[in-house]
Structure formats: structure tokens, C-alpha cells
Amino acid sequence: PPQFSIVIEMEPAHHAGLGHNIGALTLQQLLPHCDADNAVTLTVGPQPGGPLHLQSQPGRIQIYTRDSQVDWNQRPAEVAVRRLDPPAGWQPRSEDAIAAAIIEDMPAWVRFWSGFKDDFLGYPEPNRLVGPNGRDGNWGYLAGGRFHIADNEALLVTLDPVGSYYTGFQITDPWTIAPDPMLRLASLNKSQTCANADGTVTYAIALADPGIANWIDCCGLHEGWMMARWQGVPADAPLDSMIREVRLVTFDAIPPHVPRIDLSGRRAQIAARAKGFAQRTDPQGWANAG
């Protein structure tokens, strides 16, 4: 299965910013309760409950699922929601009411997200990672920072998966918007990387292909954001060893121990990526794949 999480959070004022997580259930907590069809049922409500219960708080809340694919060929989880106690006289909103609410909230939404980059992780100096920071609800860890590179440079980032079920690394533009990931190697997850001899993984952020197996294509951007994620982290994992090194080098100074890839290997890597991405987004992809 993928690395799957269900998170409940209190919505912020005006529904513009990031909510405050008040609970989460991860794949590792759900798996022991799956039935013969790999289905599992959990509840949400204001009263305390058992191991598969998310306790809500008064106010407007939102519940979301995070389906982090360890392998893009994995089948996404199917989710169904049923309310047990709908309020009397409740009616779904009309399309016009939804559109009016979006228009009313849009100025606050734009103000928050256009300024998000300025205080995200304290707007650190470029070419270093801040973290790892634990995620609210204890469902994972994140490290982030800004990169700034020249045409002939690569930023080498060496991370330790520390036994995590899922790891991922990506870049975004300076406004934290991700490039198209289908044909460009702007992100890599655990199954898409080649590990070093000691089990760590070295990513190379560069504008041109440096011939490194774990190339992160910055898609023409000399600067932007980089983010690393660990999910399904063992309880005894050494958090202080997650980030091993962040180093800016020229192409000719990349150490020989960093895994390489040739042109045919890169073509195969991108072809597999495009196929997996299409399968994820095509409603008929899973039927055709089977």
C-alpha cells in the first residue's frame, strides 16, 4: 500500500492559511485493523474514542487524506465518507453559493499564499536545509530551504532515510509552486532513487543534467525552494542524522561515490516516470494497466 495518512485540523480564519492539526492516523496505525478486503473504518466526533477515532473540537474543521505514493505504480486508496448525524434541514450548497464563497475568500487566500514564501521556515539563507521538523499529528518530518545555483553548479543534498516507509525530495519555484513533474525530474521519491553504498541518498539539484542518478531538474530556475519529507518514520530513528550534508559544487567536483547514470538510463528513467504519472492521473489507467 502507499503511505497513507488521514488528518483532522481546525480551519483558520477566512479559510486562507494553514490549519492547526488536532489529530492524525497513519498507514502503520490503520493496517492492523484492515479486513479481508483491505478496508478499514474510522470515526470522527467530539467524544473520545478508540484507536481508530479522531476527536474533533468545536468550530469549523476539515479532514483530508494524504496519499503519498512510494511507487507511482501503486494503486491509490479509495475513500468513502458517511455522516452519521446530519443536522436537521441540512441542504448541500448550490454551485452559485460555492462560487460566491470562493470569491469572498479569494483576497485573503491570495494575501496569505503570496506571502507564504517570506516566512516559510524563516526564509533561510540559500543552500542549506532547515529541519527536520515534526509534522503536527506526528505523521512525518519535513526539512526545507532555498537553493541558489549557477549554470555549472550542482547543490548536493545527502539525506538518510532512517528506515522510513516513504521519503521524497522536490524543488519549487521562488513562490513555492512546483514545476510540471511528468517529464521533468523536479521530484524523486523512495522508489525513484539510487542509494549510496551506506544507504544514504545524494540528490543533485542542477539546471543541466550532471549525469547523477538522483538528478533534481530545477527546470531552468537558478533559485527556488527545496523540500525533503520522511513519512512512516520508526520511533527510534536518529533524527539528527536525517540530513547528512548540503554542499554546492561545480560539476567537475562532484565526488566519485555519488551514483551515476548514462544517457540510455536517463531516457528509461524519464519514460518510466511519464508512464507512471499518466497512470496516476488517467481514470482509465488502472483498468488499462490490469
Instruction: Convert the pLDDT of each residue in 248-279 to its tens digit.
Output: 999 999 999 999 999 999 999 999 999 888 88
User: In the prediction, which pLDDT does 158 show?
Assistant: 98
**pTM recorded for the entire structure:** 0.85
Spatial separation of the C-alpha atoms in residues 114 and 101, rounded to whole Å: 20
Find the helix or strand (DSSP H, E) in which 213 lies: none
Per-residue pLDDT averaged across 194-209, rounded? 97
Does the pLDDT value for residue 128 go beyond 70? yes
Distance of CA 122 to the CA centre of its chain: 20
Q: How far apart are the first and last CA of the chain?
A: 17
Sheet holding 201-206, edge to edge: 215-217, 201-206, 153-159, 243-250
User: In the prediction, which pLDDT does 8 show?
Assistant: 85
Strand 201-206 and strand 215-217: the pairing is parallel
Return the closest-CA partner of residue 277 out of 71, 80, 98. Answer: 71
User: In the prediction, which pLDDT does 217 show?
Assistant: 97
What does the block give as the cell for 222? 537558478
Does the pLDDT value for residue 290 go beyond 60? no
pLDDT band at 2 (very low <50, low <70, confident <90, very high): low
Q: Which of 35-39, 162-166, 194-198, 283-287 has the lowest average pLDDT? A: 283-287
Query: Cβ(121)–Cβ(131) under 8 Å?
Result: yes
Other C-beta atoms closer than 10 Å to the C-beta of 271 total 11
Strand 3-10 and strand 61-68: the pairing is antiparallel
Range(s) for CATH 2.60.120 in the chain?
Answer: 121-289
- 112-121 residue pLDDT tens: 888 888 887 8
More confidently predicted of 87 and 50: 50
User: In the prediction, which pLDDT does 77 show?
Assistant: 83
Spatial separation of the C-alpha atoms in residues 259 and 188, rounded to whole Å: 15
CATH fold of 121-289 reads Jelly Rolls (2.60.120)
Q: Tell me what the pLDDT averaged over the chain comes to.
A: 89
User: In the prediction, which pLDDT does 244 show?
Assistant: 97
What does the block give as the cell for 279? 497512470
| HSE (side-chain half, CA atoms, 13 Å) at 137 | 25
Does the pLDDT value for residue 289 go beyond 70? no
| HSE (side-chain half, CA atoms, 13 Å) at 113 | 12
Per-residue pLDDT averaged across 236-242, rounded? 92
Return the closest-CA partner of residue 2 out of 53, 70, 59. Answer: 70
